[in-house]
A = this chain, B = another copy of it.
Amino acid sequence: MKKLILIISMWLCITSVTQAQSISSPNGEFSLNFSLLSDGTPTYQLSYKKQDVVKQSKLGLELKNDQQSLLDNFKITKTATSTFNETWKPVWGETSEIKNHYNELEVTLTQNLSNRIVVIRFRLFNDGLGFRYEFPKQKNLTYFTLKEERTEFAMTGDHTAFWIPGDYDTQEYDYTTSKLSEIRSLFDKAYTANTSQTAFSKTGVQTSLMMKSDKGLYINLHEAALINYACMHLNLDDKNMVFQSWLTPGANGDKGYLQAPCNTPWRTIIASDDARDILASNITLNLNEPCKIEDTSWIKPVKYIGVWWEMITGKSSWSYTNDVPSVQLGKTDYSKVKPNGTHAANTPHVKKYIDYAAKHGFDAVLVEGWNEGWEDWFGNSKDYVFDFVTPYPDFDVQEIHKYAKSKGVEMIMHHETSGSTRNYERHMDKAYQFMKDNGYNAVKSGYVGNILPRGDYHYSQWTVNHYQYALEKAADYKIMINAHEAVRPTGICRTYPNLIGNESARGTEYQSFGGNNANHVTILPFTRLIGGPMDYTPGIFEMNIANLNPNNNSHVNATIANQLALYVTMYSPLQMAADLPENYDRFLDAFQFIKEVPVDWSTSKYLEAEPGSYVTIARKDKNSNNWFVGNVNGMEKRTSKIKLDFLDKEKKYIATIYADGKDAHYNTNSQSYKITQKTVNYKSSLKLTSAVGGGYAISIIEKK
C-alpha cells in the first residue's frame, strides 16, 4: 500500500510539473498560461478579462549548426512565482514616480538529450506582459549562434494594425492603417524610398506594433532592454494571423552571438480595452535595469532651437563650399576653397540663434554643419568621413563657446556619423573630450546612409552594440545623447538616462521631404514612443516650404495648433522649436506656448486616445503647479470634451487656449488659429474643435 501511495505521489508530482503553469496580473485582469506541447515545445497564452489577447503561441530559438536547437524536447524542471512592487523615480519623465508592480513566473526548462537549460521569465503587470529567455551559466551551453528566434504572437483575428514595413535599416515610413490580412498587398506602396533600407518580407513589420481588434481590444507588441542582441521585427503568417519574431541579421546572415550566462531582451505585450492605458503603460521602462549612473545631476531636459531646419528645407547648406566634389580630411584645405555663401553654420549666424535663445528662454542651440566634411558626406559609403573636431573656417568654436556662455545658453553638438561606425568609435574619445573642452554637454548623433562595416545593418546585434558603446562612454564623459537613425529605443533610458532622445522614426524633417500623413502624430505615441521619447522636432509655423526655398514644394501637413500640441503629446525631455526665428516672429502669440511649455513632468493624464485619430494629454510641470494640455487630431474634424478634474481642488488657474481657427485645415488653411483665455478650476470642462490635421494646446497657469 505504501509503495502504491508512493508511486501515485511521484506520478502526481511528475505530471503536475508538466501541467500548465499560470499566473495572473496583480489586479487579476490578465492571465498568463505556460505549457509544453507533447513534443516539448514551450508555449504561452495571454488572456485579458477572460478573453484571449494572444492565443497559444510557441516559444524557442533556432540555433545555427545545431541539430537540436532550442525549440522542443524540453521538460519543466522548476517553476517559481513571485511578486514585485516598488515605486521608483526616473531622472526625467512623463511622471515623477513610476510604479513597478508585477507577478512573475519563472519556468526552468531542461532539454532532453542535450541537457541544456533555458529559463523563461514572465512578468505580468496590470497592463500587460513581458517575457524573456535566460540562459544560465551551465556546462552544456556556453557559446551559441542564433539562426532565428522563434517567438510567436498568435493573434485572435484579423486586427486593424498601424504598421510600417519591417526593415533592417530604417523606420522612417508613414504608417499604414489596415487589416493584418492587407499588409501583403499594401507592402510595396508602404515601402517608400529611403537612403538606407532593407526589407525582408512582404508581411514583415516593425515594433512597436499597435493593433486594435474588432472587439475594441488594443494590443501593442514591442521589446524592452535591447542590449547586445539583434533588433526584433515581426513577420506575419497571414494565413493564421500569427506573428513570428524575425531578428535583424549581421553581414554574414547570422542573427546573434550569445554567451551564457545571458538573457534576450524582453518581449512585451501591452493590452487594454482603453487606448489610453497603452499610452500610460510603463512596462517598457519597468522591465529595464535601474539607473546605473550614480550622479545624475548633469542630466537635464532641454528645450532648444537650432541651425538645422534651414538646411533640411534646402534654404541653406550643411556644406561650406561647392568647389570640392570629394573631401579628404586633413588634405582638403578649406582655407583655400571658395565658400558657397549658403553655409548656415557660421559664427555670426549662430550668434543670432544664441541671442534668440537667450531672448526667448531656450536652454540651448544646436548647430549642424559646423565641421569639415559635409561636401561629400552622403551616399558614398565613406569610411573616414568626419573627424568630429575640425570646424569649418567660418565656425569659431571658442568664440561661440564664450558667447553662448555669456548669454547663459548651452550649445548642442552634432556628430553625423554617416553610418561609419568604426570611424566614429576611432574618434569618439577625442570627440567627447572636445565637447567638454568647448562647453557642449549634449550631442545629437546621426547614422544617415548605409552602415559601415559594409554589409551590416542599422539594427543588427553588432550595430546595436555600437549605439550602447557610444551611450555608455558618453555617460563616462557626462554627456547626453540624442541619437538619430539609431535603433528605436526600448526603455534603456531608465538604465542610462543620459539617453535623452532618439529619432528612429519618420520625424518632422519628412514634412520637408514630401510631407507626413496628417494623422502621423496620432499614431506615433502608440508605436514609436512606447520604447522611449522621440526628438520629433516640432514647432513648424511656416507650412509652405516654398516660402523658405522656392525649389522645395513640400508642405507641412499640420496646423499651427497641432504643432503646439506636440510639445505635450509627443513626450520628450528634449524638445526643439524647429522653425526659423523669423517664422516665430510672425506668430509671437502662438510662439508663447512653446516658450512656456516645460519639458519635464510630475504627472501625466491621458484624457482621450484613439490611434490614428486623436490623442489628448494633460501634464503637470515637474517644477510648478502649472498644467499643459495638448490634442492632436487626425483625418476627421472633431470636437473634444475634456474635464479639468485633474487640477488642484484648492487652486484657480488661467487657461490660455491655442486652438485651430474655425476653418483651419492642415492643407488649405494651416496657419489659422485663435487664442483665448479663461479662468478655470478643477470643476471646469472644455469643448474644443480640432481641424483635420489640427489640434489644440492649453497652458493652465496657477493664478497666484
Contacts and interface: CB of A to CB of B under 8 A. Distances in A.
A142 interface: yes
For A143, A253, A260, A469, which residue has the most chain B Cβ atoms within 10 angstroms? A143
Interface stretch (A171-179, A448-456, A607-615): A448-456
Contact of A260 (B143, B326, B429): B326
A254 interface: yes
A426 interface: yes
A589 to B, nearest CB: 49
A531 interface: no
Given A259-B326, A422-B425, A425-B422, A453 B381 contact: no
A143 B426 contact: no
Interface in A231-262: 250-254, 257, 259-261
Nearest to A380: B143
A687 interface: no
A455 to B, nearest CB: 3
A60 to B, nearest CB: 22
A273 interface: no
Nearest to A254: B454
A325 interface: yes
Given A429-B429, A465-B383, A469-B426, A454 B257 contact: yes
Contacts of A376: 142-143
Contact of A252 (B142, B426, B455): B455
Nearest to A466: B422
A464 to B, nearest CB: 12
A260 B328 CA distance: 9
Given A425-B422, A425-B425, A465-B383, A454 B325 contact: no
A325, A422, A425, A454 — which one has the most chain B CB atoms within 10 A of its CB? A454
A53 B310 CA distance: 62
Interface centre among A137, A426, A455, A462 (most CB of B within 10 A): A455
A426 B259 CA distance: 20
Contacts of A674: none
A637 interface: no
Contacts of A453: 250-251, 453, 456, 462
Given A326-B260, A328-B259, A454 B250 contact: yes
A678 interface: no
Contacts of A638: none
A441 B85 CA distance: 56
A455 B259 contact: no
Contacts of A101: none
Contacts of A326: 137, 142-143, 259-260
B422 A139 contact: no
Contacts of A145: 381
Contacts of A456: 251, 453
Contacts of A381: 143, 145, 257
Residue among A145, A260, A381, A453 with the highest chain B CB neighbour number at 10 A: A453
A417 to B, nearest CB: 15
Contacts of A142: 325-326, 376, 380
Contacts of A325: 139, 142
A382 B143 contact: yes
Contacts of A380: 142-143, 259
Given A143-B381, A326-B259, A381-B145, A251 B426 contact: no
A143 B449 CA distance: 15
Given A143-B381, A328-B259, A251 B455 contact: yes
Contacts of A383: 257, 465
Given A252-B455, A429-B429, 8 more contacts: A250-B453, A251-B453, A253-B455, A254-B454, A257-B454, A259-B382, A260-B326, A455-B455
The 5 closest A-B pairs by CB, nearest first: A252-B455, A251-B251, A251-B455, A142-B326, A143-B380
Interface of A: 137, 139, 142-143, 145, 250-254, 257, 259-261, 325-326, 328, 376, 380-383, 422, 425-426, 429, 453-456, 462, 465, 469
12 contacts: A142-B376, A142-B380, A250-B453, A251-B454, A251-B455, A253-B455, A257-B383, A257-B454, A259-B382, A453-B453, A454-B462, A455-B455
